[in-house]
Chains A and B, each alone.
Chain A
Amino acid sequence: MRKRKDNLLFTAFLFPALFSLIMVIGIPFLLGIYYSFTNWNGVSSDVSFVGFANYLAIFQKDPKFLHAFLITIIYALLNVLVVNVVAVGLALLVTQHLRLTNLYRAAFFAPNLIGGLVLGYIWQFIYNNVISSFSFMPQMLAKPGTSLVAIVITGTWQYAGYIMMIYVAAIQGVPDSLIEAAAIDGATFGQRFRHILFPLIAQSFTICMFLSLTSSFKQFDVNVSLTNGGPAATFMGESIHFTELMALNIYNTAFSYNKMGEGQAKAIIYFLLLLVTSVTQVYFNKKREVEV
């Protein structure tokens, strides 16, 4: 009797979470796989199966997406590198028992509280009106190369403080005495970092790489409000939007061109790319963690 009552309660407790998961992610995910094989346009209810046509179209006659695919990978690599280098640097600074340590940490973290959309508008103003008001500075958002750098700078400003806090938590877990002992034995700052601190914070390195990598791949808000994909450039003989990252490309395919089926096929490719990169990255970092 008691057991049956318990099971009823357990089911009732589990139901709301499971129900929302299935309704919001589960069913749309399966529908999405199906839609990626159809000519669905979001308006007409007349949806027919087209096999791999969407996927073939993407790879054969969509330089915009191929470019978005490549530029997203380049952006992600650059962003992961810069964010982590800046974050480790800042983390080393704010763990040196400085006078205003708490203020520094809060200030470096603060940009993370501002939404990507608002942040993009702010930086659009900075690049277009402030930086370009100095005659020796370039119009960052007008040229392909510098506009990508502009997104990386903005992305770093947004994310480095958050990643810094994770490194800070890890560095604080390393006993001071260890570092001091190495210093007494004559290890330079570089050696202490490379051989003592770095191996001991290897686990947080995996987490930070994972977080910054997935967030770079998912970059959308800053992309929309900072460059909205611009400036124009040519790729494979066709005009494309140079900084249009994958998330924005998918959005535009679906909502600006009403090609829902094709947009969904792109989304599936995007998902697979994200899956493969994050699994590989975690695998290699875990392996390295064990070795050191």
Chain B
Amino acid sequence: MKKSKAVRWFVEIITFFLMLLFGIPIFIVFINAAKSNLMINADPIALPENLSVLVANIVKVWEHPNIRFPTSLLSSVVITVLSVGLLVIISSMAAWVLCRKKSRLSTVLFLLFVGTMIVPFQVVMLPLVSWFSTIQAKLGIPMLKSYQGIIFAYMGFGVPLSVFLFHGFIKSVPLELEEAATIDGCSRGMVFFRIVLPILKPIIVTVIVLNGLWIWNDYLLPLILLGLGNPIQTVPLSVSNFVGSFLKKWDLILTSNLMAMAPMLILFVFVQKYMLKGMVDGAVK
């Protein structure tokens, strides 16, 4: 659209200004993570005098026994990667069966998967804990304060949306491709792993982004299944524990916040295109 140059520049400047406004909170975290507590209290918007304080603060948080940052970072990675990986596999398999095997039962099962999407976590969280501790007591499989427990829980809570997304995508994959492969002697199982799975790449990205972001940042589920201060902690849990033990020591609190948000922000810089696309596709579908 033809617009006068002046209007165009005006819009550009407004948008630029808004972007700066949106960036202020992150900027404030950054400058104050590079100060001592004394300086923060004196003037929270002054620029830091010495960036080496930032390094010192990061080292302090990294080594602090109350946050155990390295181990919780590792736990967060293990939990997120395994949960998302398993979700991709089990949801795509289930969605494929529900799509290709047309029967009344498969329709009912699909509706069951989709229907559970509206159940908020709070409704099942209390009985989930007692149910998991019953399993633990009866079968001897540790489900609370354990990796397998929380990963299994994420599989359950992630499966409805993931199956829904895969189902929508597989519907549009032409059946001829699979039939041709079957005629060529592929078993049904091979058809799925060799033919179907590679075609699903775009929707796999969406499923990874949506679930990955949710699981990485989630607080309530780890709080209930892992508990504060136990050996296995995720990053949000350990940050919350750290803040609780350091009332108002903002230099270290803000440094821990900076360290907690850094991995996702850095990842975003590199795979921005996929993340934005994944988030939007997941919502629109």
Q: Is A290 engaged at the interface, CB distance under 8 Å to the other chain?
A: no
Complex Cα distance A111/B27, Å? Answer: 12
Verify B116–A25 contact, CB threshold 8 A: yes
Verify A264–B126 contact, CB threshold 8 A: yes
Complex Cα distance A238/B283, Å? Answer: 42
Verify A130–B45 contact, CB threshold 8 A: yes
Verify B239–A98 contact, CB threshold 8 A: no
Instruction: Find residues 229-259 in chain B having any chain A CB closer than 8 Å to their own CB.
Output: 236, 239-240, 243, 250, 253-254, 257
Verify A115–B216 contact, CB threshold 8 A: yes
Instruction: Find residues 22-55 in chain A having any chain B CB closer than 8 Å to their own CB.
Output: 23-29, 31-32, 35, 40, 42
Shortest beta-carbon distance from A161 to chain B in Å: 8
- Of B131, B192, B219, which is within 8 A of A115 by CB? B219
Q: Is B198 engaged at the interface, CB distance under 8 Å to the other chain?
A: no
Q: Size band of the B side of the interface?
A: 35 or more
Verify A18–B109 contact, CB threshold 8 A: yes
- Of B11, B19, B216, B260, which is within 8 A of A107 by CB? B19
Point out the residues of chain A lying under 8 angstroms from B116, CB to CB: 21, 25-26
Point out the residues of chain A lying under 8 angstroms from B219, CB to CB: 115-117, 220-221, 224
The interface-forming segment of B54-62, B168-176, B272-280 is B272-280
A-side interface residues, number (CB < 8 Å): 90
Verify B109–A14 contact, CB threshold 8 A: yes
Point out the residues of chain B lying under 8 angstroms from A14, CB to CB: 93-94, 97-98, 109
Q: Is A69 engaged at the interface, CB distance under 8 Å to the other chain?
A: no
Residue of A nearest to B237 (CB): A117
Given A17-B91, A20-B155, A267-B123, verify A118-B260 contact (CB < 8 Å).
Answer: yes
Tell me the number of A-to-B contacts counted with CB atoms below 8 Å. 255
Verify A16–B264 contact, CB threshold 8 A: no
Q: Is B6 engaged at the interface, CB distance under 8 Å to the other chain?
A: no
Q: Is A77 engaged at the interface, CB distance under 8 Å to the other chain?
A: no
Residue of A nearest to B7 (CB): A96
Point out the residues of chain A lying under 8 angstroms from B16, CB to CB: 100, 104
Verify B123–A113 contact, CB threshold 8 A: no
Verify B283–A93 contact, CB threshold 8 A: no
Verify A110–B268 contact, CB threshold 8 A: yes
Q: Is B147 engaged at the interface, CB distance under 8 Å to the other chain?
A: no
Verify A250–B239 contact, CB threshold 8 A: no
Verify B118–A31 contact, CB threshold 8 A: no
Verify A115–B217 contact, CB threshold 8 A: yes
- A-B pairs, top 8 by smallest CB distance, nearest first, are A24-B156, A115-B217, A17-B94, A31-B127, A16-B90, A28-B124, A28-B127, A13-B93
Chain A to chain B contacts (Cβ below 8 Å), 21 pairs:
A9-B188, A17-B155, A17-B159, A25-B156, A26-B116, A42-B129, A108-B22, A113-B217, A113-B268, A115-B236, A117-B217, A118-B217, A118-B236, A121-B239, A129-B44, A130-B44, A166-B284, A207-B284, A220-B219, A251-B122, A270-B120
Which residues of chain A have a CB within 8 Å of any CB of chain B? 5-6, 9-10, 13-14, 16-18, 20-21, 23-29, 31-32, 35, 40, 42, 90, 93-94, 96, 98-100, 103-118, 121-123, 125-126, 129-130, 133, 157, 161-162, 165-166, 168-169, 176, 179-180, 183, 204, 207, 211, 214, 217-218, 220-221, 224-225, 246-247, 250-251, 254, 260, 263-264, 267-268, 270-271, 274-275, 278
Known: A29-B127, A99-B12. 16 other contacts (CB 8 A): A13-B93, A14-B94, A14-B109, A16-B86, A28-B127, A29-B124, A107-B23, A118-B260, A118-B261, A122-B257, A130-B44, A130-B45, A165-B279, A204-B284, A207-B284, A274-B120
Which residues of chain B have a CB within 8 Å of any CB of chain A? 1, 8, 11-12, 14-16, 18-19, 22-23, 25-26, 28-29, 32, 40-41, 43-45, 86, 89-91, 93-94, 96-98, 101, 109, 112-113, 116, 118-131, 152-153, 155-157, 159-160, 163, 187-189, 192, 213, 216-220, 236, 239-240, 243, 250, 253-254, 257, 260-261, 264-265, 268, 272, 275-276, 279-280, 283-284
